Amino acid sequence: MTVDAEMYKAGMRRLAASVAVLTVGLPDGRRHGMTATAVCSVSAAPPILLCCINRNSAARAAFSEANNFAVNVLAASDRALADRFARPMDAEERFAEGLWARDRTGAPVLETAIATFDCERSHSIEVGGHTVFFGEVQAVRVRSEHIMPLLYAHGGYGEFAAARPVPLPDLMWVPDWRTEV
Ligand SMILES: Cc1cc2nc3c(=O)[nH]c(=O)nc-3n(C[C@H](O)[C@H](O)[C@H](O)COP(=O)(O)O)c2cc1C
Within-domain flag for 101:
yes
3-state class (DSSP) for residue 121? strand
Q: Identify the CATH number of the domain in which residue 50 sits.
A: 2.30.110.10
d(CA 57, CA 144): 33
What pLDDT was estimated at residue 170?
Answer: 59
| Closest ligand 1 atom to 94 CA | 26
Domain range for 9: 5-159
Whole-model pTM: value is 0.93
Within-domain flag for 116:
yes
d(CA 56, CA 19): 20
Within-domain flag for 171:
no
Choosing from 30, 37, 56 the residue with most ligand 1 atoms within 8 A of its CB, the one to mutate for a pocket test is: 37
Ligand 1 touching residue 53 (CB < 6 A): yes
59: CA distance to ligand 1 center in Å? 9
Q: Please state the domain count of the chain.
A: 1
Average pLDDT of the chain is 92
The region that residue 29 occupies, defined by phi over 0 for left and psi between -120 and 50 for alpha, beta otherwise, is: left
What pLDDT was estimated at residue 64?
Answer: 95
Band (179; pLDDT cuts 50, 70, 90): very low
74: CA distance to ligand 1 center in Å? 14
Within-domain flag for 130:
yes
pLDDT tens-place string over residues 73-107: 999 999 999 999 999 999 999 999 999 999 999 99
d(CA 140, CA 67): 17
Within-domain flag for 59:
yes
| pLDDT(172) > 90 | no
Across 172-176, average pLDDT: 63
Q: Is the peptide bond before 46 cis (omega within 30 degrees of 0)?
A: yes
3-state class (DSSP) for residue 55? coil
pLDDT tens-place string over residues 120-146: 999 999 999 999 999 999 999 999 778
What pLDDT was estimated at residue 28?
Answer: 94
Ligand 1 touching residue 52 (CB < 6 A): yes
pLDDT tens-place string over residues 9-51: 999 999 999 999 999 999 999 999 999 999 999 999 999 999 9
Within-domain flag for 181:
no
Within-domain flag for 164:
no
Within-domain flag for 175:
no
Beta strands 100-102; 156-159: pairing state: unpaired
Contact 124, 51 (CB under 8 A): no
| Closest ligand 1 atom to 82 CA | 31
| Closest ligand 1 atom to 51 CA | 8
